[in-house]
Structures are given as C-alpha cells and as structure tokens.
Amino acid sequence: MTIQNELDLFRSYAKSLARKLDITHTDALNIIAMQRRHPNWVALMKAWDKGWRPERHELMDANEESSLIESSIRGFDKVKTTQGNIAGEPYTLEVYFDEVLISGNGWGIHFGHAPSEPAEIEKLTSPNPLDDKAFFSQVMKIAVEAADGVREAITKDWGAAAMQPDKDGRAKHPLFKDVFSAEWFCLHCDGQSDSAQLVANMWHCPKCSATPIDIFAVPFWKSA
C-alpha cells in the first residue's frame, strides 16, 4: 500500500488493529475515527472533504496508542507466575494483563477482566481436588484477590476521568482519546448503558460482557 496522505495512513493502521483485536477492518476504521473525535469512519472522511486534517499527535498508530494503557509492571506480554500448595496440593497462579488463571493437577479456574463474567472452572479428572469444599474455597480466595488486584491496577491506568462519572454522569472512555459521554452503546449486543453501569463492570457491557473496545458513545452501526 502506497501512503499518499493521512487517510491512507489511518487505513494502514486499521489493518494492523483489526489483526491485533480480531475485528473487521470496518470496525477498526470506526475505532480510529472515534479516537480522532469523529463518530465513525464515514464522518471522518466527510470532514476530510470539508478540509479537516488531523493534528500531529492524532497520527499516532492505534496500536501504539493502546499500549499507553499499560503500566510499568503490567503489559500484554508480561505474566506474573507464582506457585504454592494448599494442604499439600500444588497450584500455579498466573496473572496476565487483564486476567487471572489458577491451576493444579487436573483442574483450572480462569477469571476475566469483567466482574460480570463468572469464573470458568474446569475439572479434567474425577475425583478432583476441587471437589473438596475447603480446598476449593482457598483456591477461590487466592484467585479472587489476584483478580481484584488486576482490576485495581487497570483502574489506576485508566484514571479518574474514566472511573468516576462527573456530576452530569459523563465519563471518559478508557481507550478512546477524549471521548466523553453519559450514555454508551455496545457494538456486540446493541445494548445501552450509562457511565456508572460501565464503570462498575470495568467498562465491559453489563448485558453481554463485551470488552471496552466494543463500547461507543455513538451507535454508528445504526446509521443508514
């Protein structure tokens, strides 16, 4: 692809973002447009035709921009692993950028980013160590504390503007630059939520648990 202007540059960014997030190229273009304060890609192109041009800082690659939400000790490629045992039964705890996995001999429990998502419990053997209620309780306590720590760290990364709605109920999207709203829409299920509901669920859709990348201030997909 020959880069002739900023639109071509954004299209190139969108291809990379679509691969990274496993979304369509159209969705990636809309994300890039919203990061530049346009409701969608079509609106950005219309603004271009009328003379709008991005500022220098708005030429940042969306992939580079998404990396800004990482902290010095948390990142997409960082995994903190600890091992221990409960009543002689070994376990391994792995803390990723936004999820937690605790596992042992024949079992595993996964906690995602969203509080609305129930823990995924997998038993590969029978009988299983998780059948013991006391053991299961201790495992869950360890995993829940780790998951709470991950969510607390993400909250700090996103900042107060994203995690504390203002007096008008408006909050800043944690991933999209300078996008504020009191009402939000889910691309995945078409649900509508207010800022307080999204903050309480770590910016995942309260209805379907879709990730923050699917949450928008404007339902551009409804536009004809």
| Contact in structure between 119 and 139 (CB atoms under 8 Å) | no
Query: Could you tell me the pTM of the whole model?
Result: 0.64
Q: Please write the tens of the pLDDT for every residue from 146-189.
A: 999 989 888 888 889 999 999 999 999 988 767 899 999 998 89
Q: Is the pLDDT of residue 220 over 90?
A: no
- The residue with greater pLDDT, 169 or 31, is 169
pLDDT of 68 higher than 80: no
What mean pLDDT is reported for the chain? 84
Strand partners, 183: 194
Q: What is the pLDDT of residue 15?
A: 83
pLDDT classification of 58: cutoffs 50, 70, 90:
low
DSSP string, 87-155: TTEEEEEEE-SS-EEEEETTEEEEE-S-TTSPPEEEE-SSS-GGGSHHHHHHHHHHHHHHHHHHHHHHH
Report CA Rg, the chain.
21
